Amino acid sequence: MSTEPRVEVHETSSALATAVAGELLTRLADIQSAGRVPQISLTGGTIAEDIHRELARLSAASEVDWSKVVVWFGDERFVAPDSPDRNVGQARAAFLDAVGATQIHPMPSTADAADVDAGAAAYAATLREHGSGEFDVMMLGIGPDGHIASLFPGFPQLDVTDEVAVGVTGSPKPPPERISLTLAALNRSRSVWFLVAGSGKAPAVASALGGADVHEIPAAGVSGREETIWFLDREAASQL
């Protein structure tokens, strides 16, 4: 059963990024000390890039063995594999390659699948084959409209309950074609971390924490089985 969300407010987005990176390294080290292989899911977006850079900086001093961390993605842009829009490309460049992560599961690109639906089906199969059935940490940015991953307000993918991944076309956030985990998959997480900076997100944060309808604010439909943390900067928390 999910618990009450915890809200952590930091003065600036860079302080937020440092705090999230430190918390993730601590969590991963704890899981590895317990003899388990951590399964994490990364998000795209600008605050994620800041966090990834902090992970590269802080990982050198941590005990985390990144070769024994399984890395998934909450969503991905369905574009060419070498496109700068690819979340996996950004994450590899910012920290995954630097820390020696090797168990990375990118979502399909246009070179891997004929279309977004085929790509989503392929990722669902990969999750079934290589996933543990549960993410230890699910990291999610939020859009000003309350979207998470590539699940957008009013889109039919919000109502998909029998799949773990879906194709999205006509995304209001470019590029238009994406692959996303479904709400069902996002909620198969021990711990969900929302990573939010900037005043433009403050209304969506307040709505999500205020119990908005998931079709209006998709972030309202995601919580961790054990823990939900909202990592906010002062601006994103300004309407709480």
Residues that bind ligand 6PG (CB under 6 A): 43-47, 75, 87, 141-143, 147-149, 173
CB nearer to ligand 6PG: pick between 64 and 120: 120
How many residues are there in the chain? 240
Distance CA 95, CA 230 (A): 23
Task: Please check whether residue 43 is in contact with residue 74, taking contact to mean a CB–CB distance below 8 angstroms.
Answer: yes
Q: Which is nearer to ligand 6PG, 91 or 113 (CB)?
A: 91
- Shortest reach from residue 233's CB to ligand 6PG, in Å: 11
Nearest CA-CA partner of 185 in 199, 209, 165:
165
Check if the beta carbon of residue 150 is closer than 8 Å to that of residue 180: yes
The CA distances from residue 166 to 44, 76, 162, 218, 232, in Å, are: 17, 11, 10, 15, 28
Nearest distance from C-beta of residue 65 to ligand 6PG, angstroms: 26
Give least dist CB 44 to ligand 6PG, A: 3
Give the integer Cα–Cα distance in Å for 210 and 207. 5
**Positive or negative, the Cα torsion across 67, 100, 121, 192?**
positive
Residue 36 CB, nearest approach to ligand 6PG (Å): 26
Evaluate whether 112 touches 158 at the Cβ level (below 8 Å): no
Distance CA(57)–CA(9), nearest Å, equals: 22
| Tokens linked to 236 | 């994103």
Considering the complex, what minimum distance in angstroms separates the CB of residue 234 from ligand 6PG?
16
Q: Which residue is nearest to ligand 6PG (CB)?
A: 141
Q: In the complex with ligand 6PG, which residue's Cβ is closer, 92 or 173?
A: 173
Closer to ligand 6PG at the Cβ: 47 or 185? 47
Kindly tell me which of 64 and 148 has the beta carbon lying closer to ligand 6PG.
148
- Least CB distance from residue 30 to ligand 6PG, whole Å? 25
Give whichever of 49 and 136 is closer to ligand 6PG, judged by the CB atom: 49
Question: What distance in Å separates the CA atoms of residue 119 and residue 159, rounded to the nearest whole number?
Answer: 19
Of 2 and 199, nearer to ligand 6PG (C-beta) is: 199
Q: How far apart are CA 58 and CA 179, in angstroms?
A: 30
**Smallest gap from residue 182 Cβ to ligand 6PG (A):** 14
